[in-house]
């Protein structure tokens, strides 16, 4: 990677090197066709092995398999085109939705699409490898600026041809940029797979270590004796939340962070959205925070002293065993939930929850340490992934504007 001094010229997307090209999609690409949905009333259309891509499968990825496949007869009767590997696809309907707006993919194996995907092909002016990364960077902005429709925001072929693009003058440089960004994508994808694997291993460990031995759990070899059945309220302090008056809410960090409900409990952590100067029920740093209103039973660990709103409760225990135990029960809380408008659980239900505990606190501590170490390993990988994503974003800003040239 060589940084060179160069002159710039203005473009719709900002300054670009003087030798770069400013064009529209229609001037440097071809295709602009969409697919169709074979008639659902003919089940034989969906009994084949031809890949059929829907816009929901465009996830900034290379698509080599699809949820549904269609038959050769469906292709003929519906007049569908078979798209070769390397075809660029972008979502063209439902662009008002954040999950769809700007989404795109590359065809990895011969496929067809439905009517919500538009296929674009490269030319001797622009490669689809470069187009993919360019659209990942600018696609969401384009949707806000160019799509049309009063209810459902969409692109037509005519609109797509008018989308602006900036690109290096040679396919060689375009492909070099795409290769550098794809290599970073591969590193991120590798980390995602490793994180998923570690999470699956941890889930298995939780099932084994947090299940009583007499119910099939795995016992650590240095311990013996039966686990005890207890009520949660008999072994831990349970503090049910009570919301302060809304007039005391603020964003100026006056008072304590307010944990109101499940919206403030994400990824095993408590999130600060508001502060309150009126403290009703107080939670402490390292408390287990559990949502008691829909969805019930989501677990986090407090990272700070806080005020507990009525949508959560705090559980205090002498070690981290209960934290992992309650995570393992998250999906079980629905059977306790009641409520006509939304599910909730009462103070009595929380305190009377029956749990199993090792009879020795040392065993509880060892189990918690094993699971804590697994969490730390996963957190380290997730932190590394975030750093790579930051690097990738920086690379896109440099490479897709010509600030850094690969020559």
Q: Are 147 and 160 in contact (CB under 8 A)?
A: no
Position 54 scores a pLDDT of 95
Instruction: For the beta carbon of residue 193, count every other beta carbon within 10 angstroms.
Output: 10
Q: What is the CATH number of domain 21-167?
A: 3.90.220.20
Position 68 scores a pLDDT of 95
Of all residues in the chain, what percent carry a pLDDT higher than 90? 81
Rounded mean pLDDT of the chain? 92
What's the CA gap between 282 and 68, in Å, rounded? Answer: 51
Of all residues in the chain, what percent carry a pLDDT higher than 70? 96
- DSSP state string for 19-32: TSEEEEHHHH-EEE
* DSSP conformation class of 83: B
Q: What is the pLDDT of residues 291-349, one digit of tens each?
A: 998 788 899 999 999 999 999 999 999 999 999 999 998 777 766 666 555 578 889 99
Q: Are 312 and 260 in contact (CB under 8 A)?
A: yes
Closest by CA position to 366, among listed 221, 204, 243: 221
Q: What is the CATH number of domain 171-222+360-407?
A: 1.10.287.1120
The structure's pTM equals 0.83
Q: Which residues pair with 274 in a beta bridge?
A: 258
Instruction: For the beta carbon of residue 97, count every other beta carbon within 10 angstroms.
Output: 13
Position 226 scores a pLDDT of 87
What's the CA gap between 11 and 31, in Å, rounded? Answer: 25
What's the CA gap between 177 and 157, in Å, rounded? Answer: 27
**Beta pairing class for 111-113 and 50-53:** parallel
Alpha-carbon torsion angle 256, 260, 261, 264, nearest 10: -40
Q: Are 293 and 265 in contact (CB under 8 A)?
A: no
Third-level CATH fold of 228-357: Adenine-n6-DNA-methyltransferase TaqI; Chain A, domain 2 (3.90.220)
What's the CA gap between 291 and 337, in Å, rounded? Answer: 11
Query: Could you tell me where in the chain the CATH 3.90.220.20 domains are found?
Result: 21-167, 228-357
Q: Is 227 exposed, middle or buried (0-12, 13-18, 19+ CB in 10 A)?
A: buried
**Beta pairing class for 306-308 and 256-259:** parallel
Q: Are 66 and 111 in contact (CB under 8 A)?
A: yes
Instruction: For the beta carbon of residue 264, count every other beta carbon within 10 angstroms.
Output: 23
What's the CA gap between 18 and 10, in Å, rounded? Answer: 9
What's the CA gap between 126 and 113, in Å, rounded? Answer: 23
Position 366 scores a pLDDT of 96
Residues 6+ apart with CB under 8 A from 403: 397
């Amino acid at each position: 990677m060589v940084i060179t001094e160069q002159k710039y010229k203005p473009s719709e997307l900002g300054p670009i090197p003087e030798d770069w090209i400013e064009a529209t999609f229609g001037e440097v690409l071809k295709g602009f066709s969409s697919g169709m949905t074979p008639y659902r009333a003919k089940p034989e259309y969906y009994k084949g092995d031809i890949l059929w891509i829907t816009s929901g499968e465009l996830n900034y990825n290379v698509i080599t398999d699809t949820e549904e496949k269609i038959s050769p007869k469906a292709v003929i009767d519906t007049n569908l085109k078979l798209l070769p590997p390397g075809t660029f696809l972008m979502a063209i309907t439902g662009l008002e939705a954040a999950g769809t707006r700007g989404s795109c993919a590359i065809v990895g194996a011969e496929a067809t699409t439905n009517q919500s995907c538009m296929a674009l092909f490269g030319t001797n002016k622009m490669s689809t490898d470069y187009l993919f990364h360019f659209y990942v960077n600018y696609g969401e902005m384009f949707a806000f600026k160019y799509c049309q429709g009063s209810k459902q925001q969409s692109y037509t072929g005519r609109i797509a041809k008018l989308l602006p693009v900036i690109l290096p003058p040679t396919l060689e440089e375009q492909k070099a940029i795409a290769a550098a960004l794809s290599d970073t994508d591969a590193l991120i994808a590798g980390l995602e797979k490793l994180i998923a694997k570690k999470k699956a291993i941890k889930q298995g460990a939780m099932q084994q270590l947090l299940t009583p031995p007499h119910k099939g759990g795995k016992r650590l070899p240095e311990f013996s004796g039966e686990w005890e059945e207890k009520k949660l309220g008999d072994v831990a302090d349970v503090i049910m939340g009570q919301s302060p008056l809304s007039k005391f809410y603020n964003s100026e960090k006056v008072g304590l962070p307010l944990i109101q409900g499940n919206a403030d409990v994400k990824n095993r952590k408590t999130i600060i959205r508001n502060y309150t100067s009126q403290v009703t029920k107080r939670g402490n740093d390292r408390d287990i925070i559990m949502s008691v209103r829909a969805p019930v039973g989501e677990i986090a660990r407090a990272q700070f002293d806080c005020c507990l709103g009525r949508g959560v409760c705090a559980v205090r225990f002498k070690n981290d065993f209960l934290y992992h135990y309650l995570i393992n029960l998250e999906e079980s809380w629905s059977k306790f939930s009641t409520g006509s408008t939304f599910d909730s659980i009462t103070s009595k239900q929380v305190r009377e929850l029956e749990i199993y505990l090792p009879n020795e606190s040392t065993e509880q501590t060892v189990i918690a340490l094993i699971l804590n170490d697994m969490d730390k390993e996963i957190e380290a990988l997730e932190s590394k992934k975030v750093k790579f994503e930051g690097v990738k974003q920086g690379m896109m800003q440099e490479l897709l504007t010509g600030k850094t040239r690969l020559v």
